[in-house]
Structure 1
């Protein structure tokens, strides 16, 4: 398995390591629940160096992204602004969900998922060649120019980072959500995957261990994949490979807000989406009976069957919650049934966002 530059730090901290898409990553450092609560109540940090930062440079960078992505890259006009988008295949299925940062007209940074990085790079390179556009795609995960990524999340995350990197405070403190800046060797984005405030810091890999250790000494708690998953589920954020994949339309995965079908701009997969409008409703489920919701469980409704795509026990709410793909006629507030082992348990259909910024919304 591949290892991030922080692998030894994880082992020295007693992390339980697991295989995550071919990467040996920390599941937890002793208590997934405590790590979850640390992010909701204070500050935690995640090694996300397995994700792949890709630099796109050249005069055709914007025209390329305009044609490649379902969301409209022309929304990015201010330096540092970020855009979340799906990248689709010709059939309208989701190849990956990613974030693009606009630096200037000829320079963009794209962050793609770890498990899809090789496939994504091949797809982007092939489209670049097919369309004969002048741009260069440079992955930054290996070699002398390798980058690492650390996410610092929680209500005290920004203060803790300023404590460790005081010289960067003037650059990153004014950032609005979904904006990034460059401060010294750091690319600091006010983004995250937990439903809490904080930063995602991209930096030279050789400096990652020092920053990780300094953050830990400042009281930021190392947190693993287990807490990251329950946090993102509470926040109603999709996970690639569970809530969507190459066979699923973004319209059926709760991502219609990231798809621009209004402008005359064409993009890969647009014709397929127009030919096959939304078929399912993507909702949250709150279990009313005792049990635990898990992915692939069947959902029974008066309008037909659906499926749980992601499910777990919510440490914040102390209830079982899930994301699910359901028949279009299902409405918020409906009570449906989920097949769990040999029982049918009741659940309520809710908006697919359970907790944000420490507050329970359901």
Structure 2
């Protein structure tokens, strides 16, 4: 038996099939993965993501420390609740983890992956020398991700009942990557599905009641299976698959998360990334693949890439699935930067695929051409 979130009993009540996920007993699906996926695309679904690790950063040097620790620049977070996505890199420029950081009233909040918790905390603690900063885990907080076209309206109604009309309006009016603190709650306009929605951090003791209220309002419980198909349709990375500590963010479609300016900001991994960016031999890149004939694109399959000079090189699928929204195969693949055409080796047969920008579905609609 693994660790259990405050909602474990609720998952059993809802008929969840439980699996081990990074040492946690988590719901992979409740009834039908396709139905859960479709509920998020068309209405609203709720995910228990309390297995993820919340770390609050406080102290006189909290901001300068994070500006050194992270590839993106927290100085860009001007208002309480503002958020950004970033990589935490090692000295070689590899991705130790990807995470979201929020500016809070009393400092900053990081939400990191559960499978990387130990190494993340060890790395952060090893980088504290010379900085007045404290790291505090928040295991007493649960995280509910409510996603879908109707998600924000439903959450705003619950906020109205729990807090006030004014707080409900603040949640309804949140812009992407912005949040609001409501007593012990924090509600942020972030997510992992390509849909509108919010993530709610709240005390474990309150989570079951809010879960029940969401389900009573028509929100469907969603497991990790649909969470993966949704994030892949949205073109979002999964740590340990699309990137890891041996992969540069420049090879993981994360170049946009690197804040190169101001030039004097010496974040960990900057020198290595600068050398990679200036190297004559281009790094491989993470691209989207589309296969509209029958079959499934799966992680680990070889991709045969044809270069502009007619030669061929190999790439690899890092994440792949059958898209419930598009009704055909999609994948993320790491391929040579100079690739012009691709085919995937499926049981010894080379099947042509289209190369597109990472990202296939947003707000329920196809986004590639």
TM-score, normalization by structure 2? 0.93
User: What 5-or-longer segments of structure 1 have no aligned partner?
Assistant: none
**1:52–1:117 Cα contact (<8 Å) kept:** yes
Ranges of 4+ aligned residues in structure 1 off by more than 6 Å = none
Q: What is the alpha-carbon distance in structure 1 between the residues aligned to residue 289 and residue 255 of structure 2? A: 19
The offset of 1:190, in angstroms, is 0.5
Per-residue CA shift, 1:162-211, capped at 9, x if unaligned? 22221341231221110000123320000000000011000011111111
Provide the residue aligned with 1:186 in structure 2: 185
Q: Which residue of 2 aligns with 1:342?
A: 348
Name which of 132, 135, 154 aligns with 1:160. 154
For structure 1, which segment, 195-204 or 339-348, has the greater mean C-alpha deviation from structure 2 after superposition? 339-348
2:297, 2:321 within 8 Å by CA — same for their partners in 1?
yes
Q: Which residue of 1 aligns with 2:292?
A: 288
Contact 2:319 2:333 in 1 (8 A): yes
Matched, 1:317 2:332: no
Could you give the per-residue CA deviations for residues 28-80 of structure 1, whole angstroms, max 9, x where no partner exists? 00100000000000000000000011110111000000100011111111221
Q: How far apart are the structure 1 equivalents of 2:270 and 2:324?
A: 39
**What is the aligned partner in structure 1 of residue 251 from structure 2?**
252
C-alpha separation in 2, matches of 1:165 and 1:260: 35
In structure 1, the residue matched to 2:133 is 135
What CA distance in whole angstroms lies between the structure 2 residues aligned with 1:3 and 1:341?
39
RMSD: 1.1
Cα displacement string for residues 284-317 of structure 1 (whole angstroms, at most 9, x for unaligned residues): 0001332100111110011311110100000000
Matched position secondary structure for 1:163: helix
1:357 counterpart residue number: 363
Q: Partners in 2 of 1:330 and 1:301 — Cα distance?
A: 6
Q: 1:345 Cα shift?
A: 1.1
Cα offset for 1:343? 1.6
1:113 aligns with 2:78: no
Deviations 1:130-184 (A, max 9, x none): 3x2111100101xxxx100000000000111122221341231221110000123
- Decide whether the 8 Å contact of 1:171 with 1:182 is kept in 2: no
* Corresponding residue pairs, total: 352
| Partner in structure 2 of residue 228 of structure 1 | 227
Contact in 1 for aligned 2:38/2:325 (Cα 8 Å): yes
Counterparts of 1:306 and 1:193, CA distance in 2? 26
TM norm structure 1? 0.95
